[in-house]
């Protein structure tokens, strides 16, 4: 094989390594990884140009070896902290992310404190039957400060002099669906009570144990707390308040050595999301409590379509919770955990578009992937019909005037 042919094949090998690395970074990327992704693309272009200049075979071989070495370092699994002796407190373990995380962490050897709303429910029974004696089950409603305080006392009694390694704020609710104007005030308060005030109460209560151990706080939030998802105003507002609180806490706890991370999952089947009876109950509650004038302006068909779209979206959500559970584990064991994690299919792309594209494009993207409404509010439909009739009448008058001028 002559030197030219050898250089060509080495060139193809180097290019394949860089292009493969770029694709891997893109598929796993999130917004904070964009600068490194751009740098990797720049390196790919530089190496491609050097190789294309027909460098000598020996030099090309050296570049190929260096590239493979750097790639192996980059793609090596990151170091993790040992599990031994670490205790984790998790809220909302009846089902969903909390339930799956409690089981995973228990299997890994963590000492787990798992809170449930119903100590006699199916979720609690599964935890008792499938987990080790290290797991402690606590019945806690995080909106009740007395229960949160009792959970602290029970946790301290189990831990002894040992501090708490991590708090996983997972408990949350989405108690309604619908336009911001249609959403009931009780729904706004319900979301704030659990998603913000409840999480705030738990976090403040357990902070002394976390500071003692220089531990970490991991909070499950939602993209709807940062992006304007249609018909999720009450839920999104509560998550937005939570995000700001957690982000402020991150700055304040840095001198104490406490690491704070927030996880933004994509759509998954958790809690009541796939419960048809739940959505129907919420739908009927909304119809019964809307003012007659508001219901007349929007129309029952408009409200019903929103319910149907939510059900359809929930059914298409992923049942595999492992992306979020894996991310929680990573945030607990990484020597330097990230401030923000994006877990699940599509959420990284969504944040990329939201961060780097014009709002008009970002808004259209959200509407396309979330709720594709076809029914317009009744009052708007009547107004559009009236405008159409007026436009037709104006066209007829204009045509008659033109005919008169011709005559």
Helix (H, G, I), strand (E, B) or coil at 264: strand
DSSP string, 229-248: -TTBHHHHHHHHHHHHHHHH
Cα gap 88→333, rounded to integer Å: 11
Token pair recorded at residue 72 = 């192996």
- Strands 259-265 and 216-220, by their bridges, are parallel
Tracing tokens 């991370």 back to the chain, one arrives at 261
- Cα dihedral sign, 100-106-107-109: positive
Q: Are 265 and 401 in contact (CB under 8 A)?
A: no
Cα gap 60→6, rounded to integer Å: 9
How many alpha carbons lie under 13 Å from residue 196 in its C-beta half-sphere?
19
Contacts of residue 101, defined as CB under 8 A and 6 or more positions apart, other chains included, come to 90, 93, 168, 170, 324, 325, 328, 329
- Cα dihedral sign, 206-190-147-271: negative
Cα gap 61→139, rounded to integer Å: 63
Q: Provide the b/e sequence for 72-85 (b: ≥16 CB within 10 Å).
A: eeeeeeeeeeebee
Phi, psi of 209 (to 5 degrees): -70, -35
Cα gap 177→184, rounded to integer Å: 10
Q: Are 73 and 21 in contact (CB under 8 A)?
A: no
- For the question of residue 235 being annotated catalytic, the response is yes
Choose the catalytic residue: 11, 235, 302, 351.
235
Cα gap 340→218, rounded to integer Å: 10
Cα gap 199→140, rounded to integer Å: 12
From residue 354, how far is each of 48, 227, 351, 366 by CA, in Å?
31, 8, 5, 9
How many alpha carbons lie under 13 Å from residue 333 in its C-beta half-sphere?
20
- DSSP code of 110? -
Q: Which residues are catalytic?
A: 235
């Amino acid at each position: 094989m002559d030197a030219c042919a050898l250089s060509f094949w080495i060139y193809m090998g180097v290019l394949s390594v860089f292009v493969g690395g770029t694709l891997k970074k893109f598929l796993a990327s999130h917004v904070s990884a964009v600068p490194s992704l751009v740098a990797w693309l720049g390196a790919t272009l530089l190496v491609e140009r050097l190789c294309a200049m027909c460098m000598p075979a020996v030099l090309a071989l050296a570049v190929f070896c260096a590239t493979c070495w750097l790639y192996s370092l980059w793609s090596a699994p990151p170091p993790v902290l040992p599990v031994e002796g670490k205790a984790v407190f998790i809220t909302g373990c009846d089902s969903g992310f909390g339930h799956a995380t409690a089981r995973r962490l228990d299997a890994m050897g963590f000492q787990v404190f798992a809170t449930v709303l119903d100590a006699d429910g199916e979720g609690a029974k599964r935890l008792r039957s499938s987990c080790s004696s290290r797991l402690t089950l606590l019945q806690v409603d995080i909106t009740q400060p007395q229960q949160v305080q009792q959970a602290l006392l029970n946790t301290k009694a189990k831990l002894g002099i040992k501090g708490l390694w991590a708090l996983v704020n997972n408990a949350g609710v989405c108690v309604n669906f619908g336009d911001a104007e249609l959403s009931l005030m009780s729904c706004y308060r319900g979301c704030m009570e659990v998603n913000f005030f409840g999480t705030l109460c738990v976090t403040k209560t357990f902070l002394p144990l976390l500071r003692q151990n220089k531990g970490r706080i991991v909070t499950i939030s939602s993209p709807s707390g940062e992006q304007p998802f249609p018909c999720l105003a009450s839920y999104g507002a509560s998550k937005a308040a939570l995000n700001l609180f957690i982000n402020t806490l991150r700055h304040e706890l840095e001198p104490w050595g406490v690491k704070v991370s927030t996880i933004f999952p994509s759509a998954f089947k958790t809690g009541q999301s796939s419960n048809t009876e739940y959505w129907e109950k919420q739908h009927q509650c909304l119809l019964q409590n809307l003012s007659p004038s508001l219901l007349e302006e929007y129309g029952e068909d408009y409200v019903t379509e929103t319910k149907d779209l939510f059900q359809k979206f929930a059914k298409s959500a992923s049942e595999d919770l492992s992306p979020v559970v894996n991310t929680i584990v990573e945030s607990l064991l990484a020597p330097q955990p990230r401030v923000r994690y994006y877990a699940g299919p599509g959420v990284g792309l969504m944040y990329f578009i939201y961060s780097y594209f014009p709002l008009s494009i970002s808004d259209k993207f959200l509407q396309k992937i979330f709720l594709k409404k076809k029914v317009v509010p009744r009052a708007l439909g009547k107004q559009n019909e009236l405008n159409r009739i007026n436009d037709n009448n104006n066209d007829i008058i204009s045509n008659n005037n033109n005919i008169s001028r011709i005559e």
